[in-house]
């Protein structure tokens, strides 16, 4: 049986291929969610409510499913169920135009179900990936995983766009996504069978928290330095203006044509993949010091991307994309090093919820200040990133000593 067990690198790549194919599914669907709902009779208000509720579900519910995984040890069950919800919900969206007046309600339910799948699987998958990546270096492992993930995030919308262009309809493109969904599930089951058995301490359920179930559910029993780092991540997330606002600026200010906006987004995603690989490798060599660059990248982003000069915008998008790459790879590697193995899923759930709240607050502030004073927005982001840098320095010193 030992010849059936994969090496750590093959396991990491296996998880990356699962994410790649799953991203083809849900990122492809998300690129046409708005037009789909509009074709079913949704108002702009309803589209906004469904989109916002979906993102809230994807982040906030991780609090519950993260602690559930640590409490029960059901990491694989939750990972499989979460991916399964996505693989099933997205292709079923193709049925919405054919069920009459119930089509809009069906589409809304399926969109929220897909986002629920993200919440169900993410903490458990990250905990499993942290175990697999330990054998190759967590920074490199999370970096390679993120790079593969970004390939799917880039290719999915392009595949859907091609299908819509050929058929002049949205539903065939959504139905087509059943294929990568099935591939993702098959790959996931293969990775489950071939993943090396982790030490018992890393996969056993976590003990009850001294403060009781409420304390454990909220992650209040996690180490203090984890919350210091979570505060730093909240500050960087709040300061990183959304691409929605950047795209709005580029099109309304006629910096580029509307058709070029998604192309520039693809450039930023490519930068994210490269940054994840480079910083992941560096993290395994020098530790958390590599994250000192994250607040700098975030501080540069609004000043450059909200410029009227295309060369400055391009530089800003490279910084913005690189920050995204760090946040979704190397940052996760440090989270795994900051908490006990038996509490990692809980930690990822709490971390995502904190980042989600910061993203909502930061987005509201950026949107409010954009039409009033971009220099004020830039100044506030810079001040926020100075705070983030101090918190990163404080939290990584303890982590580097433990490493």
Q: What is the pLDDT of residue 178?
A: 96
CA angle 71, 226, 220 (to 5 degrees): 50
Report the distance separating Cα 377 and Cα 70, nearest Å.
40
The residue written with tokens 């490279």 in the block is: 318
CA angle 195, 196, 198 (to 5 degrees): 115
SS3 257: coil
Q: What is the pLDDT of residue 242?
A: 76
Rg (CA), the chain: 21
Q: What is the pLDDT of residue 262?
A: 63
SS3 64: helix
Q: What is the pLDDT of residue 205?
A: 54
The DSSP secondary structure of 149-215, one letter per residue, reads: HHHHHHHHHHHHHHHHHHHS-SHHHHHHTHHHHHHHHHHHHHHHHHSPPPPHHHHSPPPPPTT-HHH
Q: Average pLDDT of each block of 10 consecutive residues along the chain (403 residues)?
A: 73 94 88 81 76 77 88 92 96 94 93 93 91 85 88 84 86 94 96 72 50 51 88 90 76 73 76 88 86 93 90 93 87 87 87 83 81 90 94 77 51
Report the distance separating Cα 264 and Cα 277, nearest Å.
20
Q: What is the pLDDT of residue 197?
A: 60
Q: What is the pLDDT of residue 252?
A: 75
Torsion of CA 396, 384, 231, 304, to 10 degrees: -80
Delineate the domains of the chain, giving CATH numbers in brackets.
7-192 (1.20.1250.20), 215-402 (1.20.1250.20)
């Amino acid at each position: 049986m030992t010849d059936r067990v994969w090496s750590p690198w093959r396991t990491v790549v296996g998880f990356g291929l699962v994410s790649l194919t799953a991203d083809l599914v849900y990122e492809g669907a998300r690129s046409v969610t708005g037009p789909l709902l509009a074709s079913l009779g949704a108002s702009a208000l309803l589209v906004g409510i469904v989109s916002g509720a979906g993102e809230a579900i994807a982040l906030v519910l991780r609090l519950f499913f993260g602690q559930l995984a640590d409490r029960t040890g059901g990491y694989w069950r939750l990972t499989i169920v979460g991916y399964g919800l996505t693989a099933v919900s997205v292709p079923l969206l193709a049925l919405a135009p054919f069920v009459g007046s119930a089509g809009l309600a069906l589409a809304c339910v399926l969109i929220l179900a897909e986002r629920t799948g993200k919440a169900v699987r993410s903490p458990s998958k990250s905990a499993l990936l942290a175990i697999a990546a330990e054998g190759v270096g967590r920074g490199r492992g999370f970096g390679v995983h993120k790079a593969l993930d970004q390939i799917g995030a880039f290719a999915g919308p392009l595949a859907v766009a091609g299908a819509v262009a050929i058929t002049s309809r949205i539903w065939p493109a959504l139905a087509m996504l059943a294929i990568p969904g099935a591939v993702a599930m098959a790959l996931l089951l293969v990775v489950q069978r071939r993943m090396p058995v982790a030490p018992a301490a890393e996969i056993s359920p976590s003990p009850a928290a001294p403060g009781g179930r409420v304390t454990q559910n909220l992650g209040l029993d996690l180490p203090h330095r984890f919350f210091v780092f979570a505060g730093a991540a909240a500050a960087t997330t709040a300061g990183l203006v959304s691409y929605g606002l950047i795209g709005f600026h580029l099109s309304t200010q006629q910096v580029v044509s509307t058709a070029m906006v998604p192309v520039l987004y693809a450039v930023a995603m490519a930068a994210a993949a490269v940054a994840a690989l480079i910083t992941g490798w560096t993290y395994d060599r020098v530790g958390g010091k590599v994250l000192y660059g994250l607040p700098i990248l975030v501080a540069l982003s609004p000043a450059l991307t909200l410029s009227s000069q295309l060369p400055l915008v391009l530089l800003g998008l490279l910084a913005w994309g690189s920050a995204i790459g760090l946040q979704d790879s190397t940052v996760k590697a440090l989270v795994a090093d900051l908490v006990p193995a038996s509490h990692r899923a809980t930690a990822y759930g709490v971390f995502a919820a904190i980042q989600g709240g910061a993203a909502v607050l930061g987005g509201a502030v950026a949107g409010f200040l954009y039409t009033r004073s971009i220099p004020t927005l830039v100044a506030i982001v810079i001040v926020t990133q100075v705070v983030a840098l101090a918190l990163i320095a404080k939290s990584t010193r303890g982590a580097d000593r433990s490493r």
